[in-house]
Structure 1
Amino acid sequence: MELETKRLTLIPLTARRLELWLTDLPALEQELGLRYEGEPLTGPLRSIFAGQLAPCRAHPEQLLWHTVWLLAHRGKRLVVGAADFKAPPCAQGRVELGYGLGPAHRGQGYMTEAVAAMTLWALSQPGVRAVTAETGRGNTASQRVLTRCGFTLCRRGSSLWWEKRAQP
Structure 2
Amino acid sequence: MIHTKRLIIYPLSDEEMREVIGRETNEVLKAAYSEMLAGCLRNPKQRIWYALWVLQLNDGSKKTVGSLSFKGLDEKGMVEIGYGMDPAYEGKGLMTEAVSAVVRWASEQPGVSSIEAETEPDNIASQRVLEKAGFVPKGVLGAEGPRYVWRKPA
Q: Same fold judged by TM-score > 0.5?
A: yes
Runs of 4+ in 1 over 6 A off after TM superposition: none
Normalising by structure 1, what TM-score? 0.83
Counterpart in the other structure of 1:120: 104
Contact in 2 for aligned 1:82/1:101 (Cα 8 Å) = yes
Contact in 2 for aligned 1:94/1:131 (Cα 8 Å) = yes
RMSD, aligned α-carbons: 1.8
SS in 2 for 1:91: coil
Match runs of 1:41-60 below 5 Å: 42-60=26-44
Rate the CA distance shift 1:61–1:41 in 2: closer, same or farther, 3 A: farther
Picking from 84, 93, 96, the partner of 2:69 is 84
SS in 2 for 1:136: coil
Match runs of 1:7-86 below 5 Å: 7-24=6-23, 42-75=26-59, 76-86=61-71
Counting aligned pairs with the same residue, the percent is 36
Shift of 1:49: 1.1
Shift of 1:54: 1.7
Shift of 1:58: 2.8
Partners of 2:108 and 2:25 in 1: how far apart? 30
Rate the CA distance shift 1:41–1:117 in 2: closer, same or farther, 3 A: farther
Q: Which moved more, 1:2-11 or 1:153-162?
A: 153-162
Unaligned runs of at least 5 residues, structure 2: none
Rate the CA distance shift 1:126–1:167 in 2: closer, same or farther, 3 A: farther
Contact in 1 for aligned 2:134/2:153 (Cα 8 Å) = no
Equivalenced residue count is 151
1:109 alignment partner AA: G
Shift of 1:59: 2.3
Answer 1 or 2: higher relative contact order, Cα 8 Å, separation at least 6.
1
2:17 alignment partner AA: L
SS in 1 for 2:119: strand
Normalising by structure 2, what TM-score? 0.90
SS in 2 for 1:51: helix
Alpha-carbon displacement from aligned partner over 1:102-141 (angstroms, at most 9, x marks no partner): 1101001110111011101110011211110010000000
Unaligned runs of at least 5 residues, structure 1: 25-39
